[in-house]
């Protein structure tokens, strides 16, 4: 194989590895943001449940206060009943007492309803709290894994950059310039395998004499359609591919 072609293939592999690693690294902050947003939502659900519980408790306290006032009034009426002088006063007082008793009953019923609602709201707080604890643990774990992954990817990037700079020094100026130009034009992919008469990236069918030259791996041949530098990989045999030994 032409030495420069072999080096360009390796250079392309390094670039592809680096660009994959870089893309993953670049996506990590937004993945962390998504995790943080989930945590914020879980935490807000707990606050919301606690808020509803607190509101209901305040409502109950207000009803209890009213009930206490009604009970005080009822006791006073009962005391006054002892002191009445006339039948008319007695009847009027009994009427007051009956009204107050009904009022007490009504408020006690409301408090009973509130107790049931408070049970539900307390259970909701507990559920939301448990969900928050679980998601916090899971999110912390995922974040730690992401940071580990980022560390590994950054080491990969450093390693590929070092290998790249050593490798490029060994490549002829013309081949390097061609690689750089095509790579820039073609989204970082300058070298691509041709197989079964096709450029494997743009899928265009190569003219037979072009493909026959590619099979030899002795020249830098570009795809007519995408301009990428083509090579033949003798290890990726398929039924339709003619077998040509690389020189
Ligand atoms: Zn092509």
**Spans of all domains in the chain:** 14-169, 173-231
The Å distance, Cα 207 to ligand 1 centre, comes to 12
For position 236, what pLDDT does the model report?
81
- Residue range 14-169, CATH number: 1.10.287.1700
Mean pLDDT across the stretch 188-209? Answer: 96
224 C-alpha to ligand 1 centroid (Å): 7
15, 5, 7: which is closest to 189 by C-alpha? 15
Q: Whole-prediction pTM value?
A: 0.75
Give the Cα separation of 189 and 179 in Å (integer). 9
Residue written as token pair 């950054």? 154
The tokens for 61 are 């306290």
Task: Supply the pLDDT for residue 237.
Answer: 60
pLDDT tens per residue across span 117-154: 999 999 999 999 999 999 999 999 999 999 999 999 99
236 Cα: distance to centroid of ligand 1 (angstroms): 18
d(CA 206, ligand 1 centre) in Å: 8
Distance 217 CA to ligand 1 centre (A): 16
The secondary structure of 48-91 as a DSSP string is HHHHHHHHHHHHHHHHHHHHHHHHHHHHHHHHHHHH--SHHHHH
Taking residues 22-28, what's their average pLDDT? Answer: 97
Instruction: Give residue 245 CA to ligand 1 midpoint distance, Å.
Output: 23
CA 197–ligand 1 middle distance (angstroms) = 11
Cβ-based neighbour number of residue 142 at 10 Å? 15
């Amino acid at each position: 194989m032409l030495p420069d072609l072999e080096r360009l293939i390796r250079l392309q592999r390094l670039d592809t590895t680096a660009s994959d690693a870089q893309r993953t690294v670049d996506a990590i902050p937004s993945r962390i943001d998504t995790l943080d947003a989930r945590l914020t939502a879980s935490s807000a659900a707990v606050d919301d449940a606690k808020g509803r519980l607190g509101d209901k408790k305040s409502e109950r306290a207000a009803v209890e206060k009213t009930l206490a006032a009604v009970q005080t009034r009822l006791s006073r009426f009962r005391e006054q009943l002892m002191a009445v002088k006339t039948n008319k006063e007695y009847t009027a007082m009994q009427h007051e007492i009956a009204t107050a008793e009904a009022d007490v009953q009504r408020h006690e019923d409301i408090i009973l309803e509130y107790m049931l609602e408070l049970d539900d709201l307390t259970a909701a707080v507990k559920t939301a709290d448990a969900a928050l604890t679980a998601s916090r643990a899971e999110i912390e774990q995922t974040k730690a894994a992401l940071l580990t992954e980022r560390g590994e990817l950054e080491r990969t990037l450093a390693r590929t950059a070092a290998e790249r700079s050593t490798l490029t020094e060994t490549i002829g100026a013309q081949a390097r310039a061609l690689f750089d130009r095509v790579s820039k034009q073609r989204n970082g992919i300058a070298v691509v395998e041709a197989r079964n008469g096709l450029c494997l990236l743009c899928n265009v069918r190569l003219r037979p004499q072009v493909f026959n030259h590619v099979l030899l791996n002795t020249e830098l041949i570009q795809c007519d359609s995408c301009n990428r530098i083509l090579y033949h990989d003798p290890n990726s045999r398929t039924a339709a591919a003619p077998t040509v030994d690389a020189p």
